[in-house]
Each structure stands twice: as C-alpha cells, then as structure tokens.
A and B are shown apart, each in its own frame.
Chain A
Amino acid sequence: EAQVTQNPRYLITVTGKKLTVTCSQNMNHEYMSWYRQDPGLGLRQIYYSMNVEVTDKGDVPEGYKVSRKEKRNFPLILESPSPNQTSLYFCASSSRGRTDTQYFGPGTRLTVL
C-alpha cells in the first residue's frame, strides 16, 4: 500500500531534550516536506527536499533540522525543543515537486513541557 508513515504518532518530552521524528514513504517520491499545524495558523512549511541531499527552508525553519540521505526517509530533528514547538507535525511527499499531489502522513502530536 502506498503510504507516508511517521513515528512516533504521539510524543511528550521536556525542554532541551533532543528528539527525532521519522518520516518514510514507499512511493519513490522525490519531493518531501515537513509542516506544523497550529490552531488558527493553518499549516506552515518547515523544510522541504527536492531530492537526496537537497533540502531547503520553508516558512518556519527556526529550531528544526532535516536530512535527506536516502530517497525514502526525511527525518525532522529538534535539537533543543522548546514549548513553542508543541504542535501537530505532518510529513508529506509528492512525485516530482510541489505541483504534484502531496500525500500526507497521519501526523505526529508533539508536546514539549
């Protein structure tokens, strides 16, 4: 089944404790992206990647890192999480770029205390 998977789905952590949210797709897609969703703010793009070893900043990249060492994986790294990073995070992928249909993962709900 074609899908985007994210792990973990729920995470509660404390300020400053490094964490990684994994994202994997099995569709051989080139474009992958991370978003955060906050009430009243909609979705905001954090980082995106056009292909392996190619990443670029979205609208709200501060406090986040990403890497794209393999085509299927696009982990989101919070090296020193803070409470303002409490949010619902979505990973998405599309075949060649943002003009193709993006397929979204189920979301990761992160709480930083």
Chain B
Amino acid sequence: AQSVTQLDSQVPVFEEAPVELRCNYSSSVSVYLFWYVQYPNQGLQLLLKYLSGSTLVKGINGFEAEFNKSQTSFHLRKPSVHISDTAEYFCAVSESRDDKIIFGKGTRLHILP
C-alpha cells in the first residue's frame, strides 16, 4: 500500500537562506506526487505536482521539487525563503492504479528573522 513519510515535523530556517523539505514515499507501482501548502488558518493550495516527464518540477512562489525514483523521494526546495513562506507543507502521493490520495503528516516551516 502506498504511504508518505515527511522526515521533519518542523524546519527552522533563517530568512533568505535556502531550504529543503524532505518527502519519501512507498509504492509498488507508478505514482503521482504533489506538494501542498497550508498558510495559517487557511485551506490547502497546490504548490507543484509531478505526473510524468521531467523529474525537476517548478511550482509557484519559487519552489521546486525533484522526483527521484531510485530513492523514492520528492524533496521540496527553495533557494531563498521569505517570512511569507511560513506555513505547513504537505507531500502527497497517489498511485496510478486508483484515485486515492495519501498525504504526509506535514512539515512546519519556521522562518527566523
């Protein structure tokens, strides 16, 4: 069965520093991968997704992620974070064989001044 592991529950980072949020998945079939962001007291919105093709995916707000099939990972990166990036980030996976979506437990990104 598919599963998602977000390795860090919280990540503190200084403003204008780079950040990487880690996501690993488990599945025996091909997958679709997503990163969503949840700003305080709001619903979720899609940052980016990998469906097929290029393994480097660019999203909104300067974020990008790289699909690594051999390491079953889909880490999210941003070269320079801003205070407005303070939020919780969720990685999600969906197997090609059904329509379920499994979310990770989330990573809280804290931006330090």
Contact = CB atoms under 8 A, between A and B. Distances in A.
Interface of A: 4, 31, 33, 35, 40-45, 48, 50, 56, 58-59, 90, 92, 97-99, 101-102, 104-107
Given A42-B90, A48-B99, A56-B100, 19 more contacts: A35-B103, A40-B9, A42-B103, A42-B104, A42-B105, A43-B92, A45-B100, A45-B101, A45-B102, A45-B103, A50-B99, A58-B101, A98-B101, A99-B94, A101-B49, A102-B44, A102-B101, A105-B43, A107-B43
Interface of B: 6, 9, 32, 36, 42-46, 49, 51, 90, 92, 94, 99-106
Contact of B90 (A43, A97, A106): A43
Contacts of A104: 43-45
Nearest to B92: A43
The B interface is mostly helix, strand or loop, or mixed, namely strand
15 contacts: A31-B99, A33-B101, A40-B105, A42-B103, A42-B104, A42-B105, A45-B101, A45-B103, A92-B44, A98-B94, A98-B99, A98-B101, A99-B49, A104-B43, A104-B44
A99 B51 contact: yes
B41 to A, nearest CB: 9
Nearest to B6: A42
Contacts of A35: 103
A56 B99 contact: yes
A48 B103 CA distance: 14
A88 B45 CA distance: 16
Contacts of A90: 43-44
Interface centre among B90, B101, B104 (most CB of A within 10 A): B101
Pick the 6 closest A-B CB pairs, nearest first.
A104-B43, A42-B105, A43-B103, A104-B44, A101-B46, A42-B106
B68 to A, nearest CB: 20
A113 B103 CA distance: 27
A58 B32 contact: no
